[in-house]
Structure 1
Amino acid sequence: MIGDNVFYIALSWAAVRSGTPSQAGLVMAVSAVPRALLMLGGGVVADRFGPRRVVIGSDAVRCAAVLTVAALLFVAHPGLWLLALLAVVFGIVDAVFMPAVGALPARVTGRDQLARVQGMRGLAVRFANVVGAPLGGLGVALGGSATAFALAGLLIAVSVPLLISVRMRETPPDGGANTANTANTANTADTADTAPAPVEAVGPPGDPDGAPARGDASGPHARVPDAEDGAAAVPERPATAWRDLRDGLRYIRGHRVLAPLIVTIALGDLGFVGPLNVGLALLADRRGWGASGMGLVVAAFGAGAGAAALLLAWRGTLPRAGSAGAAALLGGSVAIGALAQVPGVGAAVGVALAIGLLAGLSGALCGALLQTQSDPAYLGRVTAVAGIVSLGLAPLSMPLTAAAIGWWGTGPVFAGSAVVCGLGGVVALAVRDLRRAELPR
């Protein structure tokens, strides 16, 4: 994550130095397109081949691409086309890397520790954001974009042997039970349409690298028992990536917790990303807070989110996680609307601290529920669907937020965003199974 932060600093600086502001903006945005378009396929890849293989391979590709560009920049000035190509490569690799990372925790620890891992991951994100940007700026100051790219590549290179050292568990034996207990069983027709067919494993119980067992419904060698008389099983058609994708989407659609949880995450992100990114800069400019005032507000938000992650990492679980996450999201949405109404920097810092704490707690709990409620064999696809919302759709709200503030001002736009964010909490409270969802103890 630190390497990623350094990379984006290097990319933005190189793009600004090599072209116009609009061209630089296109270079920075171009990676989002393949990431959004290919992430569902990336989830299928993670589930078919195992998250460990995919994470290591994609991380190695990212490292090689960044170091290659650094070497080219040291000896030549190839221009914007090289930077755009690198951004596209990063977007493609991210589409595979991110779902695999999401599927990894369930393969390295028990279900009762997944919430704690989610909190630790939140701390890592905050630490990387704080450390990465200054490191990137230092690299640019010492030797320009080439040095910063080289630094990013070296940091990513360090992560590769660390990932290789991670040892995987077999697919947890309670995965199927978890699915059966939480999937949609409202009626026989829905169950037949959405639940994977029962299978008999014809291979070893699990891949040591974390790939689904070869007898999984999504695997290419599953055998389905005869439904009428229990006669000898007949081979099923080999699974394809397209069938795996459809199975994953059916699994999410028919799950009583995951389906509304992803809707909750989507609404929360759509209402949160715009105001707390481009909206905050415009608000600081209109209120005369200056760059230093905006920096204090951003730092307060980061501190609140870090405190929420630390709480979950320390406690490992919270009672009534579904209700607690919904309540935190509703409270955070009220704070988002209030941020546009405070006149001074001091009050804004306090409100931003509350937003970070509440939104961070809600995000951590939603992420932990996503991990614990999913069958590990589907986690790559589940993470991919949630990632498309957070990394594909939510960023699209930023230019819309900026345009809306130009038309109507900060107050109405922040209030509208707060309503969208709050709807996520309403959905979570309205759906009984999500409201009652608990984290393992």
Structure 2
Amino acid sequence: MTETSNKITAPVSLLRNRSFMLVWMSGLTVMLGFSMFFLSVSWFIVDVLNRPAVLGVVLMSVAIPRVIMMIYGGILADKIRKSLIMFVTNFLQGLVMITMIILFLNDWLDVSTLIVIALVFGFLDAFFFPAVSSMIPIIVRDEQLQRANSLFQGSTEMMFIIGPLVAGILLTIGDYTLTFSVAAILIFISTVLVFPPLIQDPVPKKREGSPSALDDLKEGLAYVRQSHVHRTGTLSIVIINLFMIGPLIISFPILVDALGGRPLELSLLEGGLSAGTFLASVLLVIWNMKKKRGRFVFGSLIVSFSFFIMFSLLETLPLLILLAALTGFVAMFVYLPTITIVQERTDKDKLGRVMSIITLAASGFEPVAFGLISFLVAAALPIQTILTIAGSVGLLLSIVLVVMSSQFRKLD
């Protein structure tokens, strides 16, 4: 099968591309379920178990297996039908949600069981996200790639606005059984939408010599390392996730609890961040940026850390929500153009491995941030001080990257 035949031919409009629409709707439902699940678990740990310092441990338990298995997830996505990977991982995550509901109903849901559940979720995520991120460049045309990425990312980010709000309301009028059940149903709906016969994505062509997973890994890492564009783009995403997004995620429930807030205030704060990222994604769908993207990415990197440092200095919830939205808004102007630039310059038979490395950069370094911040919180260091330090270090590293990456700055 040739590279041309691997690309599913579709009408000009993305909304008429059945494969993309099914993957998109699957992404919407699964992210809605995940956002409800993570807010409920975070509040359960802080409010019911009264163990805020343990929150970072549980979040690390999601991220660590994701880090360990992410590259292999990308290798698998280059060898196996991507819709099959998404279908199986979603189905297994739905089963995990049912297990958690049973544990909660029997009063067996404690820190140790939450850590085990988080480990399983992280393990499955390591296979799901490389598959979906490498699927989009195959089922849409090259000229539609920026809009497809922005539409998918923006709408799934919208689910992180709706999800926390819905979870907050459900926790207010009901209990955790209701919230966990709704999240499980949404994940199973996502599973049905990516049933392989419906997506009809191509089966990857078998490579000559049947290379081992280690050979595939070495080839993918060498491919990224030897490309200035891939290397610089990856470093940009590492910096923004390690020193900004990771600290933001873990700080929200701690800040709300310290300020005497409720689940609804927590959902508003998380919704503020998601609102900013969603609006930026919508703008990029409308504005199909093609010129001076390298400079735009670097400028956005500096501005987003400036907003994050301002966020770390505030203690009023309305202002925190506003700054979280502004930080997320500008951060998306780093992430989405970088992803598109990398995808445009990647061979199709290496997309799974390259996107697994990018996804690892986007989320795999979060365990480091979670662990450090949890340790500092347990040592009674104020969360605002921790965030200020993280933002300052991230800003300094961003400036160094901009100065040392003149080739990336010149990219269109």
Q: Sort the TM-score into its range (normalised by shorter chain).
A: 0.7 to 0.9
Of the candidates 386, 389, 394, which is equivalent to residue 420 of structure 1?
Answer: 394
* Structure 2 counterpart of 1:319: 291
- 1:358 to 1:14, Cα distance in 2 relative to 1, 3 A: closer
Residue 8 of structure 1 corresponds to: 38
CA change 1:111–1:426 in 2 (3 A) is farther
State the partner residue of 2:356: 384
Separation (CA, whole Å) in 2 of partners of 1:144 and 1:350: 29
Counterpart-to-counterpart distance in 1, 2:396 and 2:383: 20
Residue equivalent to 2:204: 212
TM-score with structure 1 setting the length:
0.73
CA distance in 2, matches of 1:350, 1:14: 25
Query: C-alpha deviations, 1:110-137, integer Å up to 9, x for none?
Result: 1211111221123223321122123334
Using the TM superposition, give the Cα deviation of residue 357 of structure 1 relative to its aligned residue in structure 2, in angstroms.
Answer: 2.5
1:37 to 2:68 alignment: yes
8 Å contact from structure 2 (residues 224, 354) kept in 1: yes
Alpha-carbon separation, structure 2, partners of 1:120 and 1:46: 22
Letter in 1 for 2:394: V
The structure whose Rg is larger is: 1
1:272 and 1:418 in contact (8 A); partners too: no
Matches of 2:188 and 2:167 in 1, distance apart? 16
Q: Matches of 1:165 and 1:135 in 2, distance apart?
A: 30
1: CA distance between counterparts of 2:346 and 2:219? 14
Q: How many residues were matched structurally?
A: 377
Say if 1:36 and 1:388, in contact at 8 Å, map to a contact too: yes
Identity score, percent: 22
RMSD in angstroms over aligned alpha carbons?
3.6
Q: Offset at 1:109?
A: 0.3
Question: Which moves more between the two structures, 117-126 or 319-328?
Answer: 117-126
Change beyond 3 A, Cα 1:290–1:385: same
**346-355 or 36-45, which moves further after superposition?**
346-355
Q: Is the 8 A contact 1:258 1:370 kept in 2?
A: yes
Matches within 5 A, 1:39-78: 39-71=70-102, 76-78=106-108
| Residues 54-93 of structure 1: per-residue CA shift (max 9 Å, x gap) | 111211221233234435655x444445544332221211
**C-alpha distance in 2 between matches for 1:111 and 1:54:** 23
Which consecutive unaligned segments of at least 5 residues does structure 1 have?
A: 169-207, 223-236
Q: Which residue of 2 aligns with 1:203?
A: none
Which 10-residue stretch deviates more, 412-421 or 105-114? 412-421
Contact 1:15 1:24 in 2 (8 A): yes
Q: Does 1:330 align with 2:302?
A: yes
Question: Which protein has greater RCO, CA pairs closer than 8 Å, 6+ apart?
Answer: 2
Partner SS for 2:194: helix
* Amino acid aligned to 2:90: D
Matched residue, 1:367: 339
Cα deviation, 1:378-425, whole Å, max 9, x if unaligned, reads 222222222323323234224534628965984685265234245336
Structure-1 separation of matches of 2:156 and 2:41: 20
Between Structure 1 and Structure 2, the one with more helix by share is 2
State the partner residue of 1:190.
Answer: none
User: What are structure 2's unaligned runs of at least 5 residues?
Assistant: 1-30
Superimposed CA distance per residue, residues 150-200 of structure 1 (whole angstroms, 9 cap, x where no aligned partner): 2222111111222237866xxxxxxxxxxxxxxxxxxxxxxxxxxxxxxxx
Question: For the residues of structure 1 that align with 2:173 and 2:325, how far apart are their CA atoms?
Answer: 34
